Structures are given as C-alpha cells and as structure tokens.
Amino acid sequence: MPLFKRLFDVAVYLESVFGKSTPAFQYIVTTTKAPPSFCTENEPHTRLILHGREDAGRLLKLTF
C-alpha cells in the first residue's frame, strides 16, 4: 500500500502547486481500492466504475 498512497501524495501535491487555479493536468488511477481519505475530503473528483463486459463499461467506450 505505500506505493499506492505515495502516488496520491504526489498527485495532491501537484494539484496544490496550482493554488486556486484549476490544475492543468489530469491523471487516471485504476485500482480496486478506494483512494486515501485525504484525497476525497475537500475536492471534487470524478469516479468511473469500469468493467470489460461490454464497450459501455470501458474507459474509451470501445474495444481496440
């Protein structure tokens, strides 16, 4: 779990560098675990629940 938490530490730090401005980047983390609570307390995040059963459940909505 340390690497998983560290990934979020870095992402939150990079977001903080922008201050009140909207960050100029996006990141995608795929995992089966919830993010650390410090990532979800004050900021809005988009959460997609993905699956491979059909195209609609895939990230780009299609099979390559």
List pLDDT tens digits, range 6-30: 888 898 898 889 988 888 888 888 7
Query: Three-state DSSP class for 12?
Result: helix
Asked whether the whole model's pTM tops 0.75, one would answer no
Name the pLDDT band for 60 (thresholds 50, 70, 90): confident
* Encoded tokens for 23: 């960050």
What length does the chain have?
64
pLDDT band at 48; cut points 50, 70, 90: confident
Q: Is the distance from CB of 15 to CB of 26 less than 8 angstroms?
A: no
